[in-house]
Amino acid sequence: MKVLHTDIEGVVLIEPEVFGDARGYFFESYSQREFDARVRPVHFVQDNESLSRRGVVRGLHFQRGRDAQSKLVRVVRGCVLDVAVDIRHGSPTFGRHVAAVLSDTNRLQMFIPRGFAHGFAVLSDEALFQYKCDNPYAPQAEGAIAWDDPALGIDWQLAPGEVILSEKDRHHPTLHEAAELFDYNIDYYA
C-alpha cells in the first residue's frame, strides 16, 4: 500500500497495490500489520456500511471523549467526496479540512484520526460506502457540525438543489457554535 500524506497531519489517503489480469483484479484492502507500521497503531472494532443515492450528504459527524473514533473509509461501488475537518482547539490546522474523491475505480481510502469531524457527499448515482471504526457507536457521545458551515469553505461538488440530508443533519451547529470539541494538547489515543 502507498500512504499519501495530506495538508493536515494525521489524515492520510491510502492507495492499495492492485494486481490485475484477464480474470479481473485482486488487492489487499486492509492489513493490520501494514497499517500499524505505516499510518499509526489502531485497533478497529467495528465495520459499517451505508448505501446512498446521488446528492446525499452525511455529516459532519464525530464522537466525543473516551468514545472518540478513528475511521478508515472506502467506497466499494460508486463515487463520493470524502471530508475530514480538524476540530481540535489549539491545532495549527483547526477548522481546516481535507477533501478527496474516493471511488470504486481509484480505490483510495481515507484515514480520519480522532479529533476530526467526518462526512461525505455522493457524486455517483449511488454509492456503497464502508468504514472501520476503532470505537463502537456511542449515541451519548455523538457530535456534529453543520455540513454547510461557510467558515469551513467546503466545496461538496453538488448543486444546492441536489443536496439530500437526514432531518438530524439539517440542524447541526457551526464549528464556532459547537460545544465540547477536542483539545489539540490531549492524546485521545492514550
Per-residue pLDDT reduced to its tens digit, 47-104: 999 999 999 999 999 999 999 999 999 999 999 999 999 999 999 999 999 999 999 9
Report CA torsion sign: 190, 63, 145, 98: positive
Q: How sure is the predictor about 160, in pLDDT bands with cuts at 50, 70 and 90?
A: confident
Cα Rg, the chain, nearest whole Å: 16
Q: What is the pLDDT of residue 179?
A: 83
* Residues 92/10, Cβ–Cβ less than 8 Å: no
Q: What is the pLDDT of residue 41?
A: 96
In a domain, 9, yes or no: no
Q: What is the pLDDT of residue 88?
A: 97
In a domain, 121, yes or no: yes
Q: What is the pLDDT of residue 95?
A: 97
3-49 pLDDT tens trace: 999 999 999 999 999 899 999 989 999 999 999 999 999 999 999 99
100-124 pLDDT tens trace: 999 999 999 999 999 999 999 999 9
Residues composing the chain: 190
In a domain, 4, yes or no: no
In a domain, 188, yes or no: no
Residue 182 grid coordinates: 477536542
In a domain, 52, yes or no: yes
**Beta strands of the chain (E only): which ranges?**
2-5, 12-15, 18-21, 24-27, 46-53, 57-63, 71-77, 79-86, 88-89, 97-103, 109-112, 116-122, 126-133, 142-144, 182-183
In a domain, 39, yes or no: no
Angstrom distance (rounded) from CA 155 to CA 153? 6
CA neighbours closer than 13 Å in the CB half-sphere of residue 166: 13
Active site residues: 61, 131
The total of other beta-carbon atoms located within 10 Å of residue 95's CB is 17
Please name the amino acid found at residue 144. Answer: A
Strands 57-63 and 18-21: unpaired
pLDDT above 90 for 188:
yes
How many domains are there within the chain?
1
In a domain, 177, yes or no: yes
For residue 143, the enclosing domain spans 44-183
Cross-strand bridge partners of residue 4: 13
Q: Is 190 buried (19+), middle (13-18) or exposed (0-12) by CB count in 10 A?
A: exposed
Q: Residue 113 belongs to a domain with what CATH number? A: 2.60.120.10
In a domain, 50, yes or no: yes
